[in-house]
Amino acid sequence: MQNKPETNKDISFEGFKSEVLNDYRIAVISRQCSLLGRREVLTGKAKFGIFGDGKEVPQLAWAKAYKDGDWRSGYYRDQTFMMAIGNLTIEQFFAGLYAHTDIEADPMTAGRQMGGHFGTHSLDEKGNWKDLTAQKNSSPDISPTASQMPRLLGLAQASKIFRNVEGIDTSGLSENGNEVAWGTIGNASTSEGMFFETINAGGVLQVPMVVSVWDDEYGISVHAKHQTTKESISEILKGYQRDEENKGYEIFRVDGWDYPKLIDTYQRAGALARKEHTPVLIHVLELTQPQGHSTSGSHERYKSRERLDWEKERDCNAKMREWIIANGLASDEELSELERSIKKQVREGKQKAWNAYLAPILQERQEVMEILTSLASVSNNRIFIDKLRNALARGNEPIRKDVMIAARKALRYVINEESDEKNRLQDWLNGYFKKIQPKYSSHLHSESDKKATLVKEIKATYDADAPDVDGRIIIRDNFDVIFGENPDALVFGEDSGNIGDVNQGLEGLQEKYGKLRIADVGIREATILGQGIGMAMRGLRPIAEIQYLDYLMYALQLMSDDLATVQYRTLGRQKAPLIVRTRGHRLEGIWHSGSQLGGILNLIRGINVLVPRNMTKAAGFYNTLMEGDEPALIVECLNGYRLKEKMPNNIGKMKTPIGVVEVVKEGTDITLVSYGSTLRLVEETSRELLEVGINAEVIDVQSLLPMDLEHDILKSVSKTNRLMVIDEDVPGGASAYILEHILNEQDAYNLLDSPPRTLTSKPHRPAYGTDGDYFSKPSTEDIFEAVYNVMHEMSPADFPKLR
Ligand SMILES: Cc1ncc(C[n+]2csc(CCOP(=O)(O)OP(=O)(O)O)c2C)c(N)n1
Ligand SMILES: [Mg+2]
């Protein structure tokens, strides 16, 4: 099932006719999938369905303009397009609906996302690049509406970089930047800020991006009059239209049922974007929802009779059918025959997909039933085990949960019994978890040999007479090596280009490496992030700079929903090794205090979170990440750029290991765990504590996600038997995260002779000024007193009450 790319105007009538009929076939197959898909949900075989019915015909036209190497960033209505480019079969469509966890059956997401979330494979099963120029690519969809837009910007910008930056090895990635990035979005979702932010940035950057708005006048039940000024996105975006004097967008409007005009529009849009790198908006009007929005509601509830009738009449497939007959390409009977055979084909495909989905589960159920039968025969609780077995046997459509419930509950009935059958059940359960759990949990991080934690440490080394320099010099010189050695590396952010970032860590590099690689961008954190995701997905090595950690919040939703889940939601078949560079900790005032790490850590599992205490460590992290294939957030210490550090003689080579802590001061009485700027205060305090006879061990976590894979903190606690975690986040923030790890992962509880403590900032945002900081965040006096109190509680005689 694939349509002919690019219609050739000179083909014979027969050729033209067969092309049109093949397109119609795909439209009908897609529609039939939607109709049967809904039925599968309503009869309980699938949990939820959201389909592409009513949007088929424009997607056929789009697919014709889509070339090898192109990229899609779209949403859940695009099944017809995926079918037309040959990347989605009937069986795969239904496998996705059933959440089949086999990537062969559901190549889109291996059952991890609900149906209607599409994506192609950029990587093989080992994590190596495939030839992206020889296939039609789709970035992996996510559910939050409009979140596909920032990524689209980056996918498009990659073409611009590939075309205009010298020295990049583009083989398998790009052919002279000729690739177009195609976006789709529903009319209502254009209300989102991210849509407007992306449109503006695309116009500024002039990148080859074609945005189609599928307009069916509704967003679930909410009409366009509540969504869009003047009820028309193309109307209000008119100011973006390019003209003789100014670059901008080319804007097209076309009805979604007008097959020939759609083809013409998509050809023109594709050519313009491909050749000139001009962004294009296509507003596709008069689309419908034959079955309503999704399986969770019915549109009869909120659409008028007139509207429902109008939708029937404008149904794009019906209009295409009329057009075929009117132009003598096929008769009514011929089309009816075609439709009948397609119905059968889709039914059969659906059944095949269901059988394939169910077969392994039936097998697993059979195994458990056999074990339970024999367990029952030797158990005193036979009746109860039989009951479980019979309940499991009853359903025709078991899921894994049913199998697990029976097996795990049965074990409870034989707690006090010993038998070979019990051993068998235990072994089966343990083996089953080992085998099945990864189907739901693997690939949160890379599982390739470029996994970030596999990159070996290279310590910074120093000449005997190494000078002390400002920290920012170390970070700058290290970036110089990175950009010098990696033509595919680039950095972009507010003030990153011309002045070389607000702290001059990129000073002079734009002159050296050009405005495309060391780039100033607008104030638009979400699309800075999206730009990075898109470019990383296409094989570049972007570093997205967010000026201050406090403003990461604007990008955080995308980091959480998109970046952090790329590997997971594609079962490792796509990656986006984007480095997010920012600076934070310990500045002044409510919006420049930069410490909201607890929130960040909880939201971006799947991304490495690195908090180096100085610029040498930070530089080493960049070097490590450049060798790996994973995304990361690096928080540089805002107050560290002007602090002196010794200049290493292996700039650009040293590597800070990920997931490894560092003991920065050895001690015997208590383990103090911290990171970032606070670490310096803890170190300072540990010297003061020596004066009262407390010898603290100080550990720099430096890598919060992943954290202390070697369990070095446990080793320290086993020596000191006391623990305090100190940071400048709110109570229950990152300090709680660290403590949870030490107690649960490392099982430190039994080693402790005193209660474990955390010392954090106050729960409010820090007040402004030095005193604001002093009374809001932990000071050295706070740290001193907190540690002293632990010792006082332990031995009031040795450590009399301080205050
Ligand atoms: C950020 C976000 N808010 C709300 C939703 C729930 N939701 C899913 S689809 C949808 C309506 C989208 O309408 P439109 O963009 O016009 O696309 P259509 O379904 O009509 O093609 C909403 C509100 C969501 N997925 N993401
Ligand atoms: Mg809509």
Task: Please give the pLDDT value at position 729.
Answer: 95
Q: Nearest residue CA, atom 11 of ligand 1?
A: 219
Tell me the CA–centroid distance for residue 223 and ligand 1, in Å: 12
Q: What's the half-sphere exposure (Cβ side, CA atoms, 13 Å) at 561?
A: 19
Task: Please give the pLDDT value at position 10.
Answer: 61
Tell me the CA–centroid distance for residue 220 and ligand 2, in Å: 7
**Please, what is the Cα angle at 493 between 491 and 496, to 5 degrees?**
75
Q: Render pLDDT for 495-521 as a digit per residue (tens, 0 to 9).
A: 999 999 999 999 999 999 999 999 999
- The one-letter amino acid at 216: D
Which tokens hold the place of 189? Answer: 């979702």
Decide: 256 and 319 in contact? Cβ < 8 Å.
no
Nearest one of 625, 657, 636 to 460, comparing CA atoms: 657
Give the DSSP H/E element, type plus range, for residue 3: none
Helix, strand or coil, per DSSP, at residue 583: strand
Q: How far is CA 559 from the centre of its chain?
A: 6
Mode of pairing for the β-strands spanning 608-610 and 703-705: antiparallel
- Residues with Cβ < 8 Å from 47, sequence gap 6 or more? 41, 99, 114
Which tokens hold the place of 121? Answer: 């494979």
Nearest one of 715, 720, 775 to 746, comparing CA atoms: 715
Q: Nearest residue CA, atom 21 of ligand 1?
A: 186
Q: Which residues pair with 610 in a beta bridge?
A: 634, 703
- Residues with Cβ < 8 Å from 639, sequence gap 6 or more? 585, 586, 587, 677
DSSP 96-156: HHHT---TTT-TTTTTSS-TT-----SB-TTSPBP-GGGS-EEPPP-SSTTTHHHHHHHHH
Task: Please give the pLDDT value at position 7.
Answer: 58
Nearest-angstrom CA–CA distance, 588 and 786: 24
Tell me the CA–centroid distance for residue 188 and ligand 1, in Å: 7
Closest ligand 1 atom to residue 146 Cα is: 1
Q: Render pLDDT for 549-579 as a digit per residue (tens, 0 to 9).
A: 999 999 999 999 999 999 999 999 999 999 9
Helix, strand or coil, per DSSP, at residue 700: strand
Tell me the CA–centroid distance for residue 211 and ligand 1, in Å: 17
Closest ligand 1 atom to residue 185 Cα is: 15
Task: Please give the pLDDT value at position 6.
Answer: 65
Q: Nearest residue CA, atom 13 of ligand 1?
A: 219
Tell me the CA–centroid distance for residue 272 and ligand 1, in Å: 30
The long-range contacts involving 365-374, CB below 8 angstroms and separated by at least 24 positions, are 365/392, 365/393, 365/398, 365/402, 365/403, 367/428, 368/392, 368/403, 368/406, 368/407, 368/428, 369/393, 371/407, 371/421, 371/424, 371/425, 371/428, 372/406, 372/407, 372/410, 372/425, 374/421, 374/424
Closest ligand 1 atom to residue 219 Cα is: 13
Tell me the CA–centroid distance for residue 195 and ligand 1, in Å: 13
Tell me the CA–centroid distance for residue 292 and ligand 1, in Å: 13
Ranges of the chain whose pLDDT falls below 50: none
Tell me the CA–centroid distance for residue 82 and ligand 1, in Å: 20
Closest ligand 1 atom to residue 187 Cα is: 16
Decide: 392 and 365 in contact? Cβ < 8 Å.
yes
Task: Please give the pLDDT value at position 589.
Answer: 85
Q: Nearest residue CA, atom 15 of ligand 1?
A: 186
From the CA of 215, which ligand is nearest? 2
Closest ligand 1 atom to residue 55 Cα is: 21
Closest ligand 1 atom to residue 143 Cα is: 25
**Please, what is the Cα angle at 113 between 281 and 92, to 5 degrees?**
85
Task: Please give the pLDDT value at position 483.
Answer: 98
Give the DSSP H/E element, type plus range, for residue 473: helix 471-485
Nearest-angstrom CA–CA distance, 154 and 170: 16
Which tokens hold the place of 238? Answer: 């008119």
Q: Render pLDDT for 349-371 as a digit per residue (tens, 0 to 9).
A: 999 999 999 999 999 999 999 99
Q: Which residues line ligand 1 (CB under 6 A)?
A: 77, 143-145, 186-189, 214, 216, 218-220, 293
Q: Nearest residue CA, atom 18 of ligand 1?
A: 186
Of 189, 191, 216, 295, the one to substitute when testing ligand 1's pocket (max ligand atoms within 8 A of C-beta) is 189
Q: How far is CA 742 from the centre of its chain?
A: 27
- Residues with Cβ < 8 Å from 427, sequence gap 6 or more? none
Nearest one of 154, 176, 180, 151 to 166, comparing CA atoms: 176
Q: Nearest residue CA, atom 7 of ligand 1?
A: 145
Closest ligand 1 atom to residue 144 Cα is: 26
Tell me the CA–centroid distance for residue 13 and ligand 1, in Å: 42
